[in-house]
Structures are given as C-alpha cells and as structure tokens.
A = this chain, B = another copy of it.
Amino acid sequence: MSQYSSSLLDAAVNEFAKLPGIGRKTALRLVLYLLRQDIASAEALGNAIINLRNEVKYCKVCHNISDNDLCDICSNANRDSSIVCVTESIKDVMAIENTQQFNGLYHVLGGVISPMDGISPNDLEIDSLVERVAAGGISEVILALSTTMEGDTTNFYLFRKLAPFNVNISILARGVSIGDELEYTDEVTLGRSILNRTPFNDSFKL
C-alpha cells in the first residue's frame, strides 16, 4: 500500500522529492497545491518540464542553451567575435550577461576538471574550444571559471592547450569584493589583491 491514499499522489510526491532542496513535506505541499489548481495549470507545468528536456538545444558553437542551432549571442552581429569567455555552465553565462560588461562570445565547458567526481577533460567541451581558437579570428580567451581547486586545475589545463596558438589568455581579476570590509576579507584574497593591485586611474574605467 502506498504511503498516501492515492498512488497518483504518491508518484507525484516521489518525483517532486527527487528535486534538489525539496523534501517529502515540501513535495506534498506542492502536490496538494497543484490539486487545488485547474487542470490547465498543472498540464502547463508538466508539459513545460517534458518539453524542456526533450526539445532543448545547445548552441553548436558555444554550447549555451538555445532555441536554435546557433544561440542569440553567437548569432548577434553586434557582439565582438574576437573575444571568447570560457565558463563552466550556462548559469555562469547568465551571471556574466547580467553584469552587462561583456560584449564578446562565450564557450560553455559543461563543468570543470574534477578527478574526484570522475570528470576528465574529455567530458568537457575543451576540444571544441581548441578547434574554435585554431580556426582563427579569436584574439583573446577569458577564463571565467570558479576560483576553486578544480577551476584552477582547468585553467592550467586550458592554458597549456591554448598556449600554442596566437591568442591572449586572461582570467577574471581576483580581489576584494565590492562592498566588502577589509577586516572580514579572507587572507588569501586580500594577499592576492595587494599583489595584483591596479593603478588608481584604471579602477575608474568601469
């Protein structure tokens, strides 16, 4: 016998509870909420989930999520195709787009090298990045990966892969966060921000 009085209820709670951050209590609350809505809105949610997974496309160039073979960013003639920003995930593309400070193109790796999690360079879109750079027309590659051990490992790997080509390789500036009090900044970050200090006039460029 199922935990609840209906096997449909049981199935829906089980499926919701598989999502990250949603336990069985929250799952039950969501399911009971859906039961109170009209059929159309439950179907809208259900179909949105199924369509998302079945019909989603990734840009053939940058591997960002897209409706077409070429994403809106790669197909935008106003963007500078000579600068490519390498990110870990499509979420990072969104984060950088939100800053409105970058007008180049992206390359989504799909993760970072992490032997602990069994993620090797072959699992990532590294070969396609090297091909993009080898094809020419790219003057700068910005490595915008997480400042973790795995991110740094991937940075070094990419640096060695891209070094043979005539391309500038940069990484995101690391330093004290805007709005942070120095007192509470961790020592490693503070140390780096002193080593990589910026000429005062440059700090007003943005």
Which residues of A are in contact with B by a Cβ distance under 8 Å? 1, 4-9, 11-12, 14-16, 18-22, 26, 28-35, 37, 39, 41-57, 64-67, 71-73, 89-91, 93-94
Q: Are A15 and B48 neighbours in the complex by a CB distance under 8 Å?
A: yes
Q: Are B94 and A4 neighbours in the complex by a CB distance under 8 Å?
A: yes
With contact pairs A1-B72, A32-B90, A90-B32 given, residues A52 and B8 touching in the complex (Cβ less than 8 Å): yes
With contact pairs A66-B6, A94-B4 given, residues A49 and B71 touching in the complex (Cβ less than 8 Å): no
A-B pairs with the 10 shortest C-beta distances? A42-B53, A46-B50, A46-B49, A15-B45, A15-B48, A12-B52, A46-B46, A12-B48, A6-B65, A11-B48
How long is the Cα–Cα vector from A65 to B4 in the complex, in angstroms?
Answer: 9
Distance from A119 Cβ to chain B, minimum over Cβ atoms (Å): 12
Q: Which residues of B contact A53 (CB under 8 A)?
A: 34-35, 37, 39, 42-43, 46
Q: Which residues of B contact A18 (CB under 8 A)?
A: 41, 45
27 contacts between A and B (CB under 8 A): A5-B64, A5-B66, A5-B67, A5-B93, A8-B51, A8-B52, A8-B56, A9-B56, A9-B65, A12-B49, A12-B51, A14-B48, A15-B48, A16-B48, A19-B33, A19-B34, A19-B45, A22-B30, A31-B52, A32-B89, A32-B90, A37-B53, A39-B53, A39-B54, A46-B48, A46-B50, A47-B50
